[in-house]
Amino acid sequence: MTDVNGISIGILGGTGDQGKGLARRFALAGHPVLIGSRSAQRAQEAADSIGHGARGAENAAVAAEAGIVIVAVPYEGHKALLESLREELAGKIVVDCVNPLGFDKQGAYALLVEEGSAAQQAAAVLPDSRVVAAFHHVSAVVLMDPSVDKVDLDVLVLGDDREATDLVQALASVIPGVRGVYGGRLRNAFQVEALTANIISINRRYKAHAGIRVTDI
């Protein structure tokens, strides 16, 4: 497996549940973690709450400094944020975990995205970055729960750059219990993002934080 030891991980929107949850697990695994935010102060507060050497800064500074960058902002702010960071993110692996979802009385449903998926939108906006899609189905609640030692799920990793997907699979696997599994090309990211709506329905029915496992590999 690709060696990811010591790679610094920046998280755009790292003040939210998902960003903080991932930050916590990567910091626990010994990675330098940089929390990004539109506000340096909010970023620092989130970093302080995580501890383990996590630092906070504005999104642009995090995008410029981190070795690998995870995008964990709501879909509504996704395109504009990435457009504003094109230069900082050039040449980097950018990991998109954004699920474009709507919610109504029937629960969650997948939104249609002009580019095909949030991940493809990221790739369109960041032509000089190596965009990978991953971490869509990981529950932030589970990531933040100190009583959960092992996170019981596979992380599907999608992308068109083999070296980049290998690296992100290895990165997912530093979280105890998690296995990073290649899930196809970026053009197939829509189904993976959309499946989150089904997982939310499962969680509501069974009062769970469900994940998925791929068998026979």
Ligand X SMILES: NC(=O)c1ccc[n+]([C@@H]2O[C@H](COP(=O)([O-])OP(=O)(O)OC[C@H]3O[C@@H](n4cnc5c(N)ncnc54)[C@H](OP(=O)(O)O)[C@@H]3O)[C@@H](O)[C@H]2O)c1
Which residues form the interface with ligand X (CB under 6 A)? 13, 15-19, 37-39, 42, 72-77, 81, 97-99, 136, 138-140
CB closer to ligand X, 6 vs 123 = 123
| Least distance between ligand X and beta carbon 216 (Å) | 25
CB closer to ligand X, 6 vs 206 = 206
| Least distance between ligand X and beta carbon 30 (Å) | 23
Half-sphere exposure of 13 (CA within 13 A, CB side): 21
CB closer to ligand X, 4 vs 135 = 135
| Least distance between ligand X and beta carbon 56 (Å) | 9
| CA angle (76 as vertex; 197, 105 as ends), nearest 5 | 40
**164 close to 93: Cβ distance less than 8 angstroms:** yes
The pairing of beta strand 9-12 with beta strand 33-37? parallel
212 Cβ contact partners less than 8 Å away, ≥ 6 residues apart:
137, 153, 154, 156, 195, 199
CB closer to ligand X, 5 vs 39 = 39
| Least distance between ligand X and beta carbon 7 (Å) | 20
Check the CA dihedral 132-134-140-143 and report its sign. negative
